[in-house]
Amino acid sequence: MGDATAARAESAHFGLGRLRRLAAATVAGYVPHARVLELGVGAGPALPRYREVFGAREVLACDPDADLLARCRPRATAANAFVWRGRAEALPLADSSMDAVFALQVLHHVPDWEAALVECARVLRPGGRLYAVESLAPFLGLPPMRWLMEHPTDRFTAERFLEGLSRTGFEPEAARGFPGTTLWVVARRGSG
Ligand SMILES: C[S@@+](CC[C@H](N)C(=O)[O-])C[C@H]1O[C@@H](n2cnc3c(N)ncnc32)[C@H](O)[C@@H]1O
């Protein structure tokens, strides 16, 4: 793959542009997000896009996997993003300190995904947004997926994920996807 093709493939990463369009088309009062956090950043393919696509001025990201973080560091440096080793369930950030949190194919890896949502709600300011792209239980339960990849076995359906958002203080604003396979969600952190 040439450099330009690789860059294009990466810029389409997990539909970050799609999430932006979903927000713009469906979320009343969409505004750029100044302080952005990415959970489970992995090797960091989405990091270069937050400033351009979401108007971020400050980008933070975490992941518990040291090897992935080592691969992420050059991208984090290039994107002027602050990255640390840590889990979504315990964020070393102040209450209401973030404008947006992104979880791109991450929460279905987190055993207690609702605990991670509680942390997201805590660090987001009221009215801040959670953007998530997640794989769903029916897809993850397919024999080839179970053979190829290791995920916790009790994963969520779209309905359970949306219920989990509501239970943890979010108001789901937009949800799209492929039934049983993938869900794109934009959810507003309520003021309660
Ligand atoms: C499928 S990868 C996605 C990585 C990245 N978001 C991307 O889009 O390329 C799942 C990521 O979730 C991370 N992860 C697993 N458990 C986590 C946790 N408890 N908190 C935060 N991230 C976690 C993994 O280390 C891995 O980087």
Closest to 158 measured CA to CA, from 144, 178, 142: 178
Given this model, what pLDDT does residue 192 score?
Answer: 73
CA distance 141 to 97: 36
pLDDT along the chain (192 residues), means of 10: 41 62 62 87 90 89 97 96 98 96 94 97 95 93 89 92 97 90 93 81
Q: Where are the beta strands (DSSP E) in the chain?
A: 35-39, 58-63, 81-85, 98-104, 124-135, 170-178, 182-189
CA distance 127 to 121: 10
Given this model, what pLDDT does residue 2 score?
Answer: 39
Could you tell which of 93, 109, 151, 155 is best to mutate to test the pocket of ligand 1, judged by most ligand atoms within 8 Å of the CB? 109
Given this model, what pLDDT does residue 151 score?
Answer: 86
Buried b (16+ CB within 10 A) or exposed e, 5-21: eeeeeeeebebbeebbe
- Torsion angle defined by CA atoms of residues 99, 167, 174 and 79, in that order, rounded to the nearest 10 degrees: 30
The helix/strand/coil state of 157 is coil
| Structure tokens belonging to residue 160 | 């359970």
How far, in Å, is the centroid of ligand 1 from the Cα of 47? 14
Q: Is the dihedral of CA 154, 17, 100, 45 positive or negative?
A: positive
Given this model, what pLDDT does residue 7 score?
Answer: 43
Give the CA count within 13 Å in the CB-facing half-sphere of 145.
Answer: 13
How far, in Å, is the centroid of ligand 1 from the Cα of 87? 9
Given this model, what pLDDT does residue 142 score?
Answer: 92
How far, in Å, is the centroid of ligand 1 from the Cα of 84? 13
Residue corresponding to tokens 């309520």: 190
Measured from the CA of 87, which atom of ligand 1 is nearest?
Answer: 20
The closest residue, in CA terms, to atom 24 on ligand 1 is: 40
**Is the CB of residue 136 less than 8 Å from the CB of residue 183?**
yes
All domains of the chain, ordered by start, with CATH? 3-189 (3.40.50.150)
Given this model, what pLDDT does residue 129 score?
Answer: 92
Given this model, what pLDDT does residue 14 score?
Answer: 55
